[in-house]
Structure 1
Amino acid sequence: FCAEGTLPCVLVSLCLVFFSSSPCKARIYTNHWAVRIAGGPEQADHIASKYGYRNLGQIGDLKDYYHFFHSRTIKRSTLFSRGTHSFISMEPKVEWLQQQVVKRRTKRDYKPSYPGPVPYSMHCNDNIHNCQSDMNIVGAWKRGYTGKDVVVTILDDGIERNHPDLIQNYDNEASYDVNGNDMDPMPRYDASNENKHGTRCAGEVAASANNSHCTVGIAYNAKIGGVRMLDGDVTDMVEAKSLSLHPQHIDIYSASWGPDDDGKTVDGPASRARQAFENGIRQGRKGRGSIFVWASGNGGRSRDHCSCDGYTNSIYTISISSTAESGRKPWYLEECASTLTTTYSSGENYDRKIITTDLRQRCTDSHTGTSASAPMAAGIIALALEANPFLTWRDVQHIIVKTSRAGHLSAPDWKTNAAGYNVSHLYGFGLMDAEAMVKEAEHWKQVPPQHICVENADKQIRTIRPEHVVRSVYKATGCTDNANHHVIYLEHVVVRITITHPRRGDLSINLTSPSGTKSQLLANRYNIQTMHYLHAFCASAGDWILEIYDSPSQLRSQKAPGKLKEWSLVLYGTSVHPYSFRNDKPRSLAEPQPDDEYSEEYVGSCHPECGENGCEGPGPQQCITCLHYFLKFKNNTRMCVPECPTGFFRDDKKRCKKCSPLCESCMGSRSDQCSACRPGLYLMEGGNNCVSSCPDGFYLDLDSTMCRKCRENCKKCMSANICTECQTGLSLQGNKCQLSCEPGTYYNGHRRACEKCHSTCATCAGKHFTSCNKCALGYYFEEWRCVSSCSVGHYLAEQTTDNGDVQKSCQKCDPTCYACAGPGERNCSTCVSGYNLENGVCVVSTICKDANEESWAEGSFCVLVKKNNLCQRKVLQQLCCRTCSLKG
């Protein structure tokens, strides 16, 4: 983010369009469609029914886009669907229609192919006061920031919402099951624990503190949700639904997945996912923009380049790299110009890994890859948003660039850009610093609006010859002739290139800015296929130099030259300095010049806002009197306006005066004279002051964005009818506050008297045995009831509370255990159907154990069983499992 070398400088993105002779993979079409229909949900339902579709609802937050499903169409096919249902495209109300195609997406953890020693925690240990990390997380905690009131969601394979480390911070509104089309994001369990990824990432962000379970999250008071979207066919629509889930509620979306990191795949978001990104940054968080955090990729061993990933190099995402605790480059790390910053993960097999939450309410000390780095970054950003909830998506990027540090990170390509900031293709601007970020956020002022300058394309065709460099120079103007698009201070540069070439993996591409900073947009790859990028430049106007080098590999079947068809730049930034622009005076507020006693009197027309006394020039700041209202400035000039702008009120002299900084509109200049609040603040009912969160005795009404009063007896409440805490002398009975009763009794609202609890309850909310709040002596909690002994499938567990009391409760056994002596899969005493017990562990009983069967010859008993179709009988199937499993 910079101009003329004064600021942290830009990220540069590249868009390549390749035309290649390489073969294409067959598309897999599903029986789901994305449809755009004007007229609302009823119109969409009508059209869906007419052609045999089922409308599954709006696609996320994308207005007028709907998810249609056709049950009579093949679920997965290499041919797009045809039939009478395809006539839907002829409907006048159908503006756009697309059958959804399966997109291969992989999680960005890695499975080492070699044994290693037991891994350890990398960013923190269980004691939050002894966290040893160069990311200065404890420094942010000591300043009082723990992520409170910030909402993060993990886009992945689900989240175990009942995990002891996550249940306290779990946010239902930040969660959804896109694969199952329901509200519950719980992962699908299987023997391999394949769907552990999302739960592991969630723990890094918001695992609760002080519960002596697994770990503590970086933002341990943040709200955490999860979107289950990777455990099924991933399509453009699945991604769009996930990326646009409740953008007014969710602050940060964290994703640790992307296209295959195989060194040959080039892929990115399709049309609806791109729209979800754009809507998010424009409309999310009440106009301040959703924060999208993305793992940069694990394809280092395949010489993959993250510039070929359209998610990490989007200008709307924050691309996160990884480093080992030693500061060395991990073997899986990809490098590219899109990387913004870095957090910790592991490197070699002897490096410590990340401790976090794991599936089945367990802990793990082996989370790794860039998958582990992105949630860390999301947690640190949550701390910064707590320090300043008004940060925009661009503010967050600016703060990251200003506060990241090269420190002990080892890279061969560290360079100092024209703004004086260290930058690397491996680590971006360096390691994140949580304490520095919250300190910067505390006094941050929003950057000015972003301008977009689309430069004219250079369409001169150039031949790309093997072992030669094509060099093209483009003189950019920064759109100096258009004030609304003029860019001086750059934030991002997108480079669009069209190339024809027999094998794009043989190409490497570099771009040099007018200030002389050179950035590698693409390195030649062993395998390759298309892309999109980002990195550090400064001045927008001047000569931009594109260099393309062709180094033919042995895999190339033909040595024919390629062609550079055209290339162009899209510049993103501002025309005024993003950090000190409030000190720059607009032209309309320029200092008045000394009167020229010999100048002629103005005789031209006046501005429409001038009053009947005329004017001294054509502008609204040159009126002698105003027709409606006026703004007065510190230099004693004024400007006539038809209405007072947002944040101002008019006094009885027609002057627009400034409201309190908390007010969107007001009746006076004091903070208790607001009539509406700035985005992110709420108006107090019965008063005219704005607050960032509702105090005790009030609840947040989202429809009116007001803090409304709880009922008279409520100290805290969730709505007008739901109390969560009562005033002194009263106790909570259900959702209402009633007269406090003696232990062992409860308040009966109908009889207006205290009555005895059920005999199994020590305290209760009603007479039924399921209404116990605490169990009587000799009884234990088991799934909301008190029992004298644990039922089958449960074991007796002890837990010590903070005040030293020992509480006993019946906890569920592992799902594979019919009965057990303790938690986990290794304490089973008997197994559920389909499993056999071996050394306390229940294993799938379909695994063949009979070694004698291998030696049975043709015509043996098992062969006869199979030939006579007797394998369906369970006893015979187990006895002859190998033979029964053979085909034929």
Structure 2
Amino acid sequence: MPFYAEECASMLAVTFSSGDKQMRSIVTSDWDLQKGTGCTEGHTGTSAAAPIAAGMVALMLQVRPCLTWRDVQHIIVFTATKYEDHQAAWKTNGAGFNHSHQHGFGLLNAWRLTNAAKVWESVPYLASYVSPVLKENKNIPLVPHVLELSWNVTTADLLLSGMRTLEHVGVTVSITHPRRGNLQIQLFCPSGMSSLIGATRKLDADPNGFTEWTFSTVRCWGENAEGAYRILVTDVGEETLKRGVFQTWQLTLYGSSWTPEDVAERRRLVEESQGGQFLNDNFSLPCPPGLEISEQDSYTITNNTLRTLMLLGCFAVFWSLYYTVELYLSRISSSSDLDLSCEGSSCILSRRQGSSGPRQLEAGLETESLPLCGSNDVAVDYEEDEDNVGHVALYRHQPSTTQFRLMVENRPKPQNNAIFDLQDNEDTVRHDTRDGDTNLNEYG
């Protein structure tokens, strides 16, 4: 086992890579600007192991292209060989498979994989079971004491999915702890097979614990799914730290409708295929037929449909043009109500009876057609309502924009022959009404 690897209960198998510092690494082709030999003797890690495993899976698919991803996993479990290592702790589960946390089910073997693929029939559909979220909220004791939790899976629970034997077992936990690397979590399947799903980690000082973390194991592969599943949690840390709390957990089972007897029979067939007779005779089981997908009639757009789409498109274009013209004309009509003429710095506004357009302009309204009073950028509107009461509105042009800001509005007209001021926070505009019109004589 390499010095950088971690023990894992969900490991399927291993292949060659580097190990201890005294062991040799993988020799393979390489490109080196300095040496220029085209080879390397230092290829290590998963970078070396993954392509070797992928190549062996490719050999399996070459002799039997219809293998599914679950078929590949099953063949790996059935054919991996036990690797004798003084560090490995091997244990045999209830279905007869050997597994260690260091090497999984063993070492991948290309000969065994391809021979088994020749006679392999696809496994049944994937079945699953998910327990309810189990709320515990219990303190986690220090070693040697443990917190034990259990959940029983009955025949009725598995009836809907049809699951009989296990493949993967997952446990999702939520735990609070000031240093989660001090926690150790074990799972026991109904057969009694133990899995160290959460090992202690000396360098993991994360204070956030585990929030809905899922741990999994394959050590119960092929075993009966029915029965009691137990979790044992303990704290190997110091007494000075605050105790952790096991809040919730949820059990998830994945498997198939195979019975334990079906698993044993498939193991026997796989072992019988290892003599090489099927490879030598170029024999392979035929792949099952795929799903029959009925050919759907192709749909062609008819001429009537094309005409309808064209008419709809023309109508949309016509409506857009009509709306644009109508909006433009309404703006012209609105601005034409202002009968404002500018002479030098003065603006004369004629009286209008019952006008209702410009007086309704609001602050910030875009009124590009309003005339400006000389260089003062001011527009004035005057009108009389139905009661012959005059109203004056003053607009200031906003610099660098096409908008006018309403300064003063709806001020009653003074008596004839009078001079009055319209004043805002900044400017005063003086109006002389003695000549019968509203004149802007002074601005600023």
Normalised-by-shorter TM-score class? 0.5 to 0.7
Q: Deviations over 1:310-332 (max 9, x none)?
A: xxxxxxxxxxxxxxxxxxx3322
Deviation of the 1:549 alpha carbon: 0.7
Task: Give the corresponding residue for 2:55.
Answer: 379
Do the aligned residues in 2 keep the contact of 1:493 with 1:570 (CA within 8 Å)?
yes
Matches within 5 A, 1:24-103: none
Q: Deviations over 1:793-849 (max 9, x none)?
A: xxxxxxxxxxxxxxxxxxxxxxxxxxxxxxxxxxxxxxxxxxxxxxxxxxxxxxxxx
SS of 2:142's equivalent in the other structure is coil
> Distance in 1 between the 2:92 and 2:187 partners?
16
> Distance in 1 between the 2:229 and 2:261 partners?
25
Q: 1:551 aligns with which of 211, 215, 236?
A: 236
Task: Give the corresponding residue for 1:469.
Answer: 146
Using structure 1 for the length normalisation, give the TM-score: 0.28
Matched, 1:571 2:253: yes
The one-letter code matched in structure 1 to 2:157 is T
Matched, 1:520 2:196: yes
Task: Give the corresponding residue for 1:542.
Answer: 227
The one-letter code matched in structure 1 to 2:258 is V
Q: Cα 1:481–1:540, aligned 2, differ >3 Å: closer, same or farther?
A: closer
Q: Cα 1:349–1:499, aligned 2, differ >3 Å: closer, same or farther?
A: closer
Q: Deviations over 1:95-133 (max 9, x none)?
A: xxxxxxxxxxxxxxxxxxxxxxxxxxxxxxxxxxxxxxx
Do the aligned residues in 1 keep the contact of 2:185 with 2:232 (CA within 8 Å)?
yes
Matched, 1:425 2:101: yes
Q: Deviations over 1:858-888 (max 9, x none)?
A: xxxxxxxxxxxxxxxxxxxxxxxxxxxxxxx
The one-letter code matched in structure 2 to 1:573 is G
> Distance in 1 between the 2:183 and 2:63 partners?
45
Q: 2:7 aligns with which of 327, 332, 335?
A: 335
SS of 1:446's equivalent in the other structure is coil
Do the aligned residues in 2 keep the contact of 1:346 with 1:352 (CA within 8 Å)?
yes
Q: Deviations over 1:512-542 (max 9, x none)?
A: 1110101101111112245543231122221
SS of 1:460's equivalent in the other structure is strand
SS of 2:167's equivalent in the other structure is strand
> Distance in 1 between the 2:85 and 2:178 partners?
38
Do the aligned residues in 1 keep the contact of 2:224 with 2:260 (CA within 8 Å)?
no
Deviation of the 1:462 alpha carbon: 1.3
Task: Give the corresponding residue for 2:425.
Answer: none
Matches within 5 A, 1:84-123: none
> Distance in 1 between the 2:82 and 2:127 partners?
30
The one-letter code matched in structure 2 to 1:471 is E
Q: Deviations over 1:473-508 (max 9, x none)?
A: 21122653642x232111111101111111111100
Q: Cα 1:576–1:422, aligned 2, differ >3 Å: closer, same or farther?
A: closer
> Distance in 2 between the 1:660 and 1:342 partners?
28
SS of 2:216's equivalent in the other structure is coil
> Distance in 1 between the 2:156 and 2:174 partners?
23
RMSD of the alignment, in Å? 2.8
Q: Cα 1:449–1:479, aligned 2, differ >3 Å: closer, same or farther?
A: farther
Deviation of the 1:661 alpha carbon: 5.2
More helix by share: 2
Do the aligned residues in 2 keep the contact of 1:453 with 1:478 (CA within 8 Å)?
no
Deviation of the 1:544 alpha carbon: 0.9
Q: Deviations over 1:164-205 (max 9, x none)?
A: xxxxxxxxxxxxxxxxxxxxxxxxxxxxxxxxxxxxxxxxxx
Do the aligned residues in 2 keep the contact of 1:409 with 1:430 (CA within 8 Å)?
no
> Distance in 2 between the 1:437 and 1:509 partners?
33
The one-letter code matched in structure 2 to 1:402 is F
Q: Cα 1:478–1:424, aligned 2, differ >3 Å: closer, same or farther?
A: farther
Task: Give the corresponding residue for 1:10.
Answer: none
Aligned residue pairs total 260
Deviation of the 1:580 alpha carbon: 4.7
Do the aligned residues in 2 keep the contact of 1:353 with 1:367 (CA within 8 Å)?
yes
The one-letter code matched in structure 1 to 2:2 is P
Deviation of the 1:662 alpha carbon: 5.3
Do the aligned residues in 2 keep the contact of 1:475 with 1:544 (CA within 8 Å)?
yes
Task: Give the corresponding residue for 2:28.
Answer: 356
The one-letter code matched in structure 2 to 1:358 is D
SS of 1:487's equivalent in the other structure is coil
Deviation of the 1:511 alpha carbon: 0.7
Do the aligned residues in 1 keep the contact of 2:129 with 2:158 (CA within 8 Å)?
no
> Distance in 1 between the 2:246 and 2:62 partners?
48
> Distance in 2 between the 1:383 and 1:540 partners?
32
> Distance in 2 between the 1:535 and 1:559 partners?
33
Do the aligned residues in 1 keep the contact of 2:95 with 2:260 (CA within 8 Å)?
no
SS of 2:47's equivalent in the other structure is helix
Q: Deviations over 1:621-675 (max 9, x none)?
A: xxxxxxxxxxxxxxxxxxxxxxxxxxxxxxxxxxxxxx99557659xxxxxxxx9
Query: What 5-or-longer segments of structure 2 have no aligned partner?
Result: 266-285, 296-444
Do the aligned residues in 1 keep the contact of 2:195 with 2:217 (CA within 8 Å)?
no
Q: Cα 1:380–1:572, aligned 2, differ >3 Å: closer, same or farther?
A: same
SS of 1:347's equivalent in the other structure is coil
Do the aligned residues in 1 keep the contact of 2:88 with 2:101 (CA within 8 Å)?
no
Matched, 1:501 2:181: no
Do the aligned residues in 1 keep the contact of 2:190 with 2:226 (CA within 8 Å)?
yes
Query: What 5-or-longer segments of structure 1 have no aligned partner?
Result: 1-328, 584-658, 667-674, 677-888
Q: Cα 1:385–1:466, aligned 2, differ >3 Å: closer, same or farther?
A: same
Q: 2:157 aligns with which of 480, 491, 499?
A: 480
Task: Give the corresponding residue for 2:334.
Answer: none
Q: 2:187 aligns with which of 488, 492, 511?
A: 511
SS of 1:533's equivalent in the other structure is strand
Task: Give the corresponding residue for 2:168.
Answer: 492
Q: Deviations over 1:451-488 (max 9, x none)?
A: 111112321221113333111121122653642x2321
Do the aligned residues in 2 keep the contact of 1:466 with 1:559 (CA within 8 Å)?
no
> Distance in 2 between the 1:344 and 1:494 partners?
28
Q: Cα 1:552–1:401, aligned 2, differ >3 Å: closer, same or farther?
A: same
SS of 2:203's equivalent in the other structure is coil
Do the aligned residues in 2 keep the contact of 1:445 with 1:579 (CA within 8 Å)?
no
The one-letter code matched in structure 2 to 1:568 is Q
Q: Cα 1:661–1:412, aligned 2, differ >3 Å: closer, same or farther?
A: closer
Deviation of the 1:559 alpha carbon: 1.9
Do the aligned residues in 1 keep the contact of 2:167 with 2:218 (CA within 8 Å)?
no
Do the aligned residues in 1 keep the contact of 2:127 with 2:163 (CA within 8 Å)?
yes
The one-letter code matched in structure 2 to 1:559 is L
> Distance in 2 between the 1:353 and 1:339 partners?
22
Identity over aligned pairs, percent: 39
> Distance in 1 between the 2:52 and 2:150 partners?
40
> Distance in 2 between the 1:578 and 1:388 partners?
25
Q: Deviations over 1:41-88 (max 9, x none)?
A: xxxxxxxxxxxxxxxxxxxxxxxxxxxxxxxxxxxxxxxxxxxxxxxx
